[in-house]
């Protein structure tokens, strides 16, 4: 084994190359951010070329013989060290990219660029037959991709691993089974209660500038650092980062007639952003920079959005200010009515509008259908009927048409199979992490009731954020909470919260 100092020197050329790769990817991210915020429509064609060029340069750099040689020369640094993590992640990135034949990569990218306009057309006409052949093609390529990437138990593992390293289909089956068994009866019980239209106060006149000011005040208190970020408007809210914690931007959208979208999207994206802003700055331009997986990332956004932002404690502090900001719409709404409004359970056909309780069943349905499609138990032409049957079974809802059903999400057209479950993984991990934070600092709930978030933020920074991608998700969660990822705390949380809200 080489000593630390000698090893640092041996890794220098590899690290230099990875830093350049990080720069190219960061430049793509800046262009992508601009495309969704300020770029005029006339920029579309040139921007597509620029992004394709940078994407190709990054890919060529990654799969080049030189990268392979530098990885071989890197050897095996001290196990557990940051260098070992850098080599492990770079090797994984390199192997994934080199395992896939160039022909398959090109076909996949071509198939999804053809599928996306077809999906849009299909959705506009609510005519599944326009999209079905594209989905068949994408599925065939996804199966092939899984084969090349390799897996032990299930081809889905290979795809899932792209978004949630080391997560397994078998584990997800167990988690979803627990959720299904507990949530389907709860949702039935709630749906059978008289409709009180609890969310009515959230609709009305909500001045955009005031919504923006209020959102900024809250996320500043959460700890979002404006000297290393900014907030702009975009059709689909997102958070983006450019190679390190120095520039982490968020976007949101406003509806002047509906309070919820901007308010909760702002909390959500700020949750993603505080994760990125608190990664160890020395990890910038290395594979350790940035959140470790989609699921862990989503745990941070949902922790701030739901566990903090939809809690009684939080609104006991912030509601008077919100009421003063919008006296016409909220003046006569008492704090408890507002709390019930933002936590209304209403099964609906649309995932992105779903409440905390029904949301996971939208994901369960997509997970099961993805498995059936990938295994060949279901063909693309049979998908709409299978979709509607499961919507009815899990949520008691039948979509009005395919546009509002099976065609609502762009993910499959974009070739993203194995991605949906990371939303539920995020929900599960959010509660597990929050409970571990409260165990370490029992005063966190009272602090939230005073509009203070220092203890929670500090615990998350110390146990999750600063590590960036150094540990795989399971190891990170086990280090932070003392246990592997586990859905039990999440289920107890849902039962307690919604049992109380609906008197179950
Ligand atoms: Zn998110």
For the segment 120-177, what is each residue's pLDDT rounded down to a tens digit?
A: 999 999 999 999 999 999 999 999 999 999 999 999 999 999 999 999 999 999 999 9
Mean per-residue pLDDT of the chain: 95
Closest CA to 423 of 249, 242, 300: 300
The pLDDT score that the predictor gives to residue 330 is 98
Please give the distance, rounded to the nearest whole angstrom, from the Cα atom of residue 363 to the centre of ligand 1: 14
Please give the distance, rounded to the nearest whole angstrom, from the Cα atom of residue 2 to the centre of ligand 1: 41
Q: With bands split at pLDDT 50, 70 and 90, how would you rate the model's confidence at 211?
A: very high
Please give the distance, rounded to the nearest whole angstrom, from the Cα atom of residue 237 to the centre of ligand 1: 9
Please give the distance, rounded to the nearest whole angstrom, from the Cα atom of residue 503 to the centre of ligand 1: 30
- What Cα–Cα distance (Å) separates residue 274 from each residue in 7, 107, 219, 229? 33, 37, 9, 10
Active site residue 269: yes
Q: With bands split at pLDDT 50, 70 and 90, how would you rate the model's confidence at 296?
A: very high
The pLDDT score that the predictor gives to residue 6 is 56
Domains of the chain in start order, with CATH, are 4-150 (no CATH), 169-502 (1.10.1370.30)
Please give the distance, rounded to the nearest whole angstrom, from the Cα atom of residue 358 to the centre of ligand 1: 17
- What Cα–Cα distance (Å) separates residue 211 from each residue in 222, 238, 254, 330? 17, 18, 8, 13
Classify residue 23 by burial, with Cβ atoms within 10 Å: 0-12, 13-18, 19+: middle
Segment 208-223 mean pLDDT: 98
pLDDT at 331 over 70: yes
Q: With bands split at pLDDT 50, 70 and 90, how would you rate the model's confidence at 294?
A: very high
The pLDDT score that the predictor gives to residue 1 is 46
Segment 58-83 mean pLDDT: 94
* Among 82, 152, 269, 382, the one annotated catalytic: 269
Q: 139 Cβ partners below 8 Å, 6+ apart?
A: 373, 374, 380, 417
Name the residue with higher pLDDT: 3 or 484.
484
Closest CA to 134 of 102, 110, 155, 158: 110
* Separation CA 87–CA 110 (nearest Å): 31
* Separation CA 308–CA 451 (nearest Å): 10
Please give the distance, rounded to the nearest whole angstrom, from the Cα atom of residue 59 to the centre of ligand 1: 26
pLDDT tens by residue, 353-394? 999 999 999 999 999 999 999 999 999 999 999 999 999 999
Segment 397-419 mean pLDDT: 95
Please give the distance, rounded to the nearest whole angstrom, from the Cα atom of residue 281 to the centre of ligand 1: 22
């Amino acid at each position: 084994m080489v000593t630390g100092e000698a090893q640092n020197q041996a890794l220098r050329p590899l690290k230099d190359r990875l830093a350049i790769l990080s720069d190219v990817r960061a430049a793509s991210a800046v262009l992508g951010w601009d495309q969704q915020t300020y770029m005029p429509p006339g920029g579309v064609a040139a921007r597509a070329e620029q992004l394709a060029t940078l994407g190709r340069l990054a890919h060529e750099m990654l799969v080049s013989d030189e990268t392979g040689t530098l990885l071989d020369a890197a050897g095996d640094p001290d196990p557990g060290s940051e260098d070992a993590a850098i080599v492990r992640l770079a090797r994984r990135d390199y192997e994934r990219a080199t395992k896939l034949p160039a022909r398959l990569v090109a076909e996949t990218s071509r198939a999804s660029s053809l599928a996306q306009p077809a999906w849009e057309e299909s959705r506009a006409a609510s005519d599944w037959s326009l999209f079905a052949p594209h989905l068949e093609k994408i599925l065939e390529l996804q199966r092939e991709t899984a084969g090349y990437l390799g897996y032990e138990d299930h081809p889905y593992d290979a795809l899932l691993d792209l978004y949630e390293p080391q997560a397994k289909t078998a584990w997800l089956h167990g988690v979803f089974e627990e959720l299904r068994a507990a949530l389907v009866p709860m949702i039935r019980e709630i749906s059978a209660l008289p409709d009180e239209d609890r969310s009515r106060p959230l609709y009305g006149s909500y001045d955009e500038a005031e919504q923006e000011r209020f959102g900024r005040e809250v996320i500043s208190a959460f700890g979002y650092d404006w000297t290393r970020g900014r907030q702009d408007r975009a059709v689909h809210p997102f958070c983006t980062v450019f190679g390190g914690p120095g520039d982490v931007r968020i976007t949101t959208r406003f509806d002047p007639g509906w309070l919820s979208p901007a308010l909760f999207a702002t909390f959500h994206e700020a949750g993603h952003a505080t994760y990125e802003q608190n990664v160890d700055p020395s990890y910038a331009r290395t594979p350790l920079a940035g959140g470790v997986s989609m699921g862990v990332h989503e745990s941070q956004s949902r922790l701030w959005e739901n566990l903090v932002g939809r809690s009684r404690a939080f609104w006991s502090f912030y509601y008077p200010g919100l009421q003063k900001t919008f006296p016409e719409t909220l003046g006569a709404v008492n704090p408890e009515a507002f709390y019930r409004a933002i936590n209304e359970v209403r099964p609906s056909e649309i995932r992105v509008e779903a409440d905390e309780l029904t949301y996971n069943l939208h994901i369960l349905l997509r997970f099961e259908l993805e498995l059936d499609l990938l295994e060949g138990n279901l063909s693309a032409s049979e998908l709409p009927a299978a979709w509607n049957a499961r919507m009815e079974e899990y949520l008691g809802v039948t979509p009005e048409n395919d546009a509002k059903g099976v065609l609502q999400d762009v993910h499959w057209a974009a070739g993203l199979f194995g991605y949906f479950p990371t939303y539920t993984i995020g929900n599960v991990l959010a509660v597990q992490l929050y409970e571990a934070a409260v165990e370490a600092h029992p005063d966190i709930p009272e602090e939230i009731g005073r509009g203070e978030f220092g203890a929670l933020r500090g615990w998350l920074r110390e146990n999750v954020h600063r590590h960036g991608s150094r540990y795989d998700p399971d190891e990170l969660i086990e280090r932070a909470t003392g246990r592997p990822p586990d859905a039990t705390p999440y289920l107890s949380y849902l039962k307690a919260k919604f049992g109380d809200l609906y008197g179950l």
